Each structure stands twice: as C-alpha cells, then as structure tokens.
Amino acid sequence: MSSMSVSRSLAAALLGLALALPTQAAAAPRFAIDGDRFLLDGRPHLIRSGEMHYPRIPREFWRERLRQAKAMGLNTVTTYVFWNLHEPEPGRFDFSGNLDIAAFVRTAAEEGLDVIVRPGPYICTELDFGGYPAWLLRTPGLRVRSMDPRYLAAGERYLRRVHQELGPLLSTRGGPILMMQVENEYGSYGRDRDYMATAKRQMIEAGFDLPLFTSDGAGPHYFEGGPLPEVAAVINFDGDVADAEAAFAHLKAFRPGGPRMVGEYWAGWFDHWGEQHHTTPLERAARTVDWFLDRGISFNLYMFHGGTSFGWMAGANYSRDQPYQPDTTSYDYDAPVDEAGRLTPKFHALREVIGRHLPAGETLPPLPAPAAATIAVPRFVLSESASLWDALPALSRPVSAQLPRTMEDLQQNYGFVLYRNTVPAGAQGKLSVDEVRDYASVFADGAPAGTLDRRFGERELDAGLKPGQRLDLLVENMGRINFGTRLDEERKGITRSVSVGGRALYDWTHYPLPLSDLSGLRYAKTAAGAPAGPRFWRGGFQLERVGSTFLDTRGWGKGHVWVNGHHLGRYWKIGPQQTLFVPAPWLRRGRNEVVVFEVEGDAGARSLQGLADPVYATDPDGLKPPKR
C-alpha cells in the first residue's frame, strides 16, 4: 500500500467515525477561509475541483466517475442540488436512489475527495427552470429570485430539508463538505441586496454553519449584484490565460485580499437543438489550469463530467436573435470524461498539468481501469405501435375550460398537453396561437397540418382548416428557460388564446400528457398504410453482454425514448445530437424493451440501432423555419 492510500484509508476511517457521531459535539472545523487563503486542517489549501451532478450520472457509475476525478489529480468534487427533482410536488421530497445526495457525498469522501455543494435554490445548469420546481409557476405572479414571501417560504423549506440530508456531512462536523455556495451568479440577474442577504440568512438558519461563498461572472457589472459582504466571492469564466488575467484583475480591484478561486472554469460547453455541437481546445484548458496552479489559484472545472440531462431535465436559453434555444439531452460538455464515462484527451492533458504542480508529498493516483467498453446493438425493428389518438384514455384525464389553460394551470410540470377543439362554423383562414410553449404539432381531423416552433417566434400557420374539423394542438414543453430575466414567464403549453381566421376558439378540452406512466398503453402490429400522426412505437433487442450504448435516432423526427422504463430524454432530427446515451445499468441480459413517442412523420417502418460512439450532426435547415 502506498503512503497515499494509507492516508486515504485513514482519512476514510476518521470520516466514518465523524459520520457515526453526528450528534456529538462538533469536531474542530476542517476547513476555513482566512484572508486570501483556504485552510484545511489548519494548513493552506488549494482546491482542485471538478463538477459533476449526481442526477446526470446513474448511481451505479458514481464511484467510478469520482475515482476518475481523483485520478486526474483533483482533490474536490462540486455539485449543485437539484430542487426540482427533490421536491416534485410541494412538500413531497425525494432523496432516494439516484437522488441520494448524501450517499453521493459519502462516496466522494470514500474516494478521497472533498465536496463543494451548491444548493441554489436557483442553480441554472441548463436544467429546466434553472432547477426550480415547475409548480412554483402555479402561483400567479410569484417572482423567483426575489423577496416575494411565497418564493422565500418555499426555498426555506427546501433548504431545511437539504440540511436534514447533508448536515452531518459538513466540514464543521468533520465531514467532507468544505463550503457551500449562496444562490448562483445572482450578479447576472438582479441587484436586490436584501434578496441576496436573505438567501444567505436562509442557508445559515437552515443549519449550514460552514464557510459560504458566492460565484459570479468576472467583471464589475456582475459584482454589483452577486457578492455579499463578509462572504468569499469566486468568479466564473472560460477562455485562455489572457482571460484569466483580466478576470482576476477585476476580482482584485473589487475584493482585494480575499481568496482567489474560479468557481466555474468552463473547459467545454453545452449544445442547443439546431445549433452546432460545441467542443473547446484542450490546449487552452491545459494552459489556463497551468496558470491557475502556478499562482496558487483554486479552481473548479465545469464540467469534469457532464453526463446526461435525462428525462425532462434539459432547460433552455434565449438570446437577442432567438426567443428560445432549447438544450439537448446530452450534457457531454466536451468534458474530460465523456458522457459514456471514457477518459478523453482533455483528461490526460489536464492530469499532466496537475501532476506537475502537486504539493510535496502528493502523487497522482494511478490511472483508473478504463470504463467498461460501450457496445453496438444491431438494428432492430419496432413493429408495434399505438396511435396517440387511441391511447388518450389510457394516458390522460381530460380537463375542460373555456380558454386554453397552461401546463402549470393543469397542475402538470413536464411533458405535453393536447389541446382539442372543433373549428367553428364560419371560421376560415390562418390558425393563430398566442403563444406556443414550445412546439406545437397541429392536426386537422387527426392528420398533420403543420407545426409552430417557438424558436422562430412562430404564431401563425396556414393549416387549411375547415369548419367542423377536429383541431388538435399537441404542445411540447421543451424545457423552461434557465438563465436570464425571463425565468418567471416560463409557463408552458398555450399561454393565452387560439383563433382561426381571427375568430377566437372557446371551450377547449385539454389532455395533460406528463407521460410519467406508459403502462396503460395497448400496442398492436402497425398496419401497412396506418395514418401519419403521433404514435408510441414499441420494440426490443436481446443482449448477451450488457454495456452502455448510444441509440441512433437518425431516421426519426422528434420525440422521446424510454428503455426498460427509463426515460432517456428528447431526440430531434435537427441535431446536433443524433444519438441518445443508454447507460449500461439500465440494460439487462436477455430482452430489453424500447418505447419511442414519435410526434412527427409517417407510420412507415421504424427501426433503431445502438452505436459504440455518439453521432453529432446539425441539419443545416435546423436553424431556419421550415418552408411552408
């Protein structure tokens, strides 16, 4: 046993002791901020952290990813806490299975890593509504990230519940959680000093008695709103050494004498549907991390391993040019460890840099055994299907209302809503929808009649509707905006009204389609010449040897995939993502079942295959509205 692993097992044993005695008198705090230094066990400490998120990694893989972080030379792992997943309905909390954050933190400690926790409540991270539970939007006029008492009360309850999970693991109890972040880049959002002071007070009152910090963009503008007096301020940025120099010059001017840390150094980037896939040069990341280490600057690589925004997790942005930019399901992030858990050249480059800067007495752990190989799955046919029209009674209980209700009005967080009506006598002309959140597939008497895409601000469609026809608008929530000032407005479905030829339509039937339980679906062999329209497809494949794979969705249009009941997430032919990651733990030897909900396209032959590697390709037309 090397001296490293002796001290690691000693540390693990001591930690075990500390965790076994959570109610005893607190041990001396392990971690402190002292002027411009971090102190660990009384000695100056440089934080070499990497970010990964427990819900974006199947629990079975946590230990392997954490071990990889340690092997790259990191000594800390940083995670957000995902409020929306932990409290899916008001007051109903879930910290089990893949959401067992305390188990994630303990596993990190067992692997010799300290932990930084960022509980939000707002966390951004390309996550639906920035991590806020969608049910907050059921309260009309509620303002998140503000002094709105309704918001503050919900956030306080959540923080107290998180403390029940993490309290015994804080560094003030001898645990691995060194420090925690207050809010997230509030300087990019607002200037309400009372709100930030309250966010901090709520954390302290919830029991988080350890060192706190804020993180913000690196510039005077951001410092106006984000940092708090007496609370360490760290900065977030990407780029090269020159960017790092500029960023720290700004920090020094604003907060001389505080610790120097990059809370998020973006060593990769995420993707929006319809845009190009992002990669970032490893040389740049290596040079900049080298610069940090030369100067004793602590850092957190965002992301060390991005993983996957499974299910409905993905969020969205907007920009000056585009009202809506939904994030892809993959959160690979071009990170040092890829979506399938494989070490990339960026991993090796950063490991080499960190290895050159280790303090005396520390050595790099050996390279971990490679992650289990990904597998290819031969093409298989999904021969059975169920049309959405037939499946409605099994999936949804309809709700009637005079005007279209939003998804939140219907007490629904994620998925689709089907809005049904009859084109009234005398109504002729364009269909206009005010406003689609986020993508409507329009059907006249069950047949496809066009789409409305929020990415292009589309509100009108020449759907050729005729009086007496059944009008169906299948509206997909493609992820709530997670960054910027439009957070509060992110209600989904149809937000106001629908008209045909200028005549408003009343008396709607709504079918909420959260698609959280597909067990009631009845499939049948798809008949040749079955009509086009939204359809659930079922098929399966046999495995002798289980391994992670990338399900190739090329040839499909737009929809969602479940494998053995696990919701992988969204696919969309426009790319850049053309494959969906299927983690090995969700597969089994023998038969595996795949269900696809395809919103577009005809009812022709449907098949899928698994690939050993992801495919990225952007449809050149994906950024333009379709020609009509």
Among 270, 324, 536, 581, binds ligand GLA (CB under 6 A): 270
Alpha-carbon distance of 362 to 54, in angstroms, equals 28
How many chain residues interact with ligand GLA (CB under 6 A)? 9
Does 124 participate in binding ligand GLA (rule CB under 6 A)?
yes
Does 330 participate in binding ligand GLA (rule CB under 6 A)?
no
Among 183, 264, 332, 438, binds ligand GLA (CB under 6 A): 264
Q: Where are the beta strands (DSSP E) in 65-111?
A: 76-80
Tell which positions 481-510 bind ligand GLA, by CB under 6 A: none
Phi first, then psi: what are they for 592, rounded to 5°?
A: -120, 135
Compute the least distance from the CB of residue 232 to ligand GLA, in Å.
Answer: 16
Residue nearest to ligand GLA (CB): 124
CB closer to ligand GLA out of 124 and 582: 124
Among 49, 76, 98, 125, binds ligand GLA (CB under 6 A): 125
Does 409 participate in binding ligand GLA (rule CB under 6 A)?
no
CB closer to ligand GLA out of 123 and 382: 123
Helix (H) or strand (E) holding 493: strand 493-500
Tell which positions 32-71 bind ligand GLA, by CB under 6 A: none
Does 592 participate in binding ligand GLA (rule CB under 6 A)?
no
Piece in contact with ligand GLA (CB under 6 A), picked from 121-129, 370-378, 517-525, 544-552: 121-129
Alpha-carbon distance of 59 to 85, in angstroms, equals 15
Q: Residue 368: is it exposed, middle or buried by C-beta count within 10 angstroms (0-12/13-18/19+)?
A: middle
Alpha-carbon distance of 47 to 227, in angstroms, equals 20
Piece in contact with ligand GLA (CB under 6 A), picked from 52-60, 120-128, 509-517, 582-590: 120-128
Compute the least distance from the CB of residue 185 to ligand GLA, in Å.
Answer: 5
Does 78 participate in binding ligand GLA (rule CB under 6 A)?
no
Active-site position among 87, 111, 264, 490: 264
CB closer to ligand GLA out of 87 and 126: 126
Alpha-carbon distance of 319 to 323, in angstroms, equals 6
Asked if 175 and 209 count as a contact pair (C-beta separation under 8 A), the reply is no
Compute the least distance from the CB of residue 188 to ligand GLA, in Å.
Answer: 8
Piece in contact with ligand GLA (CB under 6 A), picked from 123-131, 401-409, 498-506, 514-522: 123-131
Piece in contact with ligand GLA (CB under 6 A), picked from 119-127, 440-448, 554-562, 603-611: 119-127
Encoded amino acid at 270, one letter: F
Compute the least distance from the CB of residue 484 to ligand GLA, in Å.
Answer: 11
Encoded amino acid at 516, one letter: S
Alpha-carbon distance of 117 to 78, in angstroms, equals 6
Binding mask 133-172 for ligand GLA (x = CB under 6 A): ----------------------------------------
- Cis, peptide link before residue 121, omega less than 30° from 0: yes
Q: Which residues, in sequence order, are bridge partners of residue 404? A: none
Number of CB atoms found within 10 A of residue 535's CB: 26
Compute the least distance from the CB of residue 56 to ligand GLA, in Å.
Answer: 12
Does 238 participate in binding ligand GLA (rule CB under 6 A)?
no
Concerning whether 275 is annotated as a catalytic residue, the answer is no
Asked if 281 and 346 count as a contact pair (C-beta separation under 8 A), the reply is no
Helix (H, G, I), strand (E, B) or coil at 232: strand
Tell which positions 4-33 bind ligand GLA, by CB under 6 A: none
CA distances from 27 to 31, 34, 60, 248 (A): 11, 19, 32, 34
Compute the least distance from the CB of residue 486 to ligand GLA, in Å.
Answer: 15
CB closer to ligand GLA out of 264 and 472: 264
Active-site position among 87, 110, 111, 185: 185
CB closer to ligand GLA out of 112 and 131: 131
Does 235 participate in binding ligand GLA (rule CB under 6 A)?
no
Alpha helix (H) residue ranges in 207-237: 220-223
Piece in contact with ligand GLA (CB under 6 A), picked from 122-130, 321-329, 386-394, 554-562: 122-130
Q: Residue 468: is it exposed, middle or buried by C-beta count within 10 angstroms (0-12/13-18/19+)?
A: exposed
Compute the least distance from the CB of residue 130 to ligand GLA, in Å.
Answer: 8
CB closer to ligand GLA out of 187 and 534: 187
Asked if 104 and 80 count as a contact pair (C-beta separation under 8 A), the reply is no
Alpha-carbon distance of 204 to 211, in angstroms, equals 10
CB closer to ligand GLA out of 209 and 224: 224
Helix (H, G, I), strand (E, B) or coil at 189: coil
Compute the least distance from the CB of residue 59 to ligand GLA, in Å.
Answer: 22
Compute the least distance from the CB of residue 243 to ligand GLA, in Å.
Answer: 14
CB closer to ligand GLA out of 57 and 407: 57
Alpha-carbon distance of 316 to 483, in angstroms, equals 8
Concerning whether 362 is annotated as a catalytic residue, the answer is no
Q: At what angle do helices 101-110 and 149-166 cross, to 10 degrees?
A: 40
Q: Buried b / exposed e across 180-197, counting CB within 10 Å, b at 16+?
A: bbbbbbbbbbbeeeebbe
Among 185, 290, 438, 490, binds ligand GLA (CB under 6 A): 185
Asked if 271 and 303 count as a contact pair (C-beta separation under 8 A), the reply is no
Compute the least distance from the CB of residue 616 to ligand GLA, in Å.
Answer: 18
Cα 465 to the center of its chain, rounded Å: 39
Does 126 participate in binding ligand GLA (rule CB under 6 A)?
yes
- Cis, peptide link before residue 453, omega less than 30° from 0: no
Helix (H, G, I), strand (E, B) or coil at 353: helix
Residue 366 structure tokens: 């050996």
Asked if 418 and 477 count as a contact pair (C-beta separation under 8 A), the reply is no
Among 68, 214, 236, 549, binds ligand GLA (CB under 6 A): 236
CB closer to ligand GLA out of 188 and 564: 188
Q: 127, 134, 146, 144: which is closest to 409 by C-alpha?
A: 134
Piece in contact with ligand GLA (CB under 6 A), picked from 117-125, 391-399, 540-548, 619-627: 117-125
Residue 535 structure tokens: 């359809």
Phi first, then psi: what are they for 129, rounded to 5°?
A: 60, 25
Q: 355, 356, 330, 334: which is closest to 345 by C-alpha?
A: 334
Does 184 participate in binding ligand GLA (rule CB under 6 A)?
yes
Compute the least distance from the CB of residue 264 to ligand GLA, in Å.
Answer: 5
What does the binding site for ligand GLA look like in residue numbers (CB under 6 A)?
Answer: 123-126, 184-185, 236, 264, 270
Residues that are catalytic: 185, 264
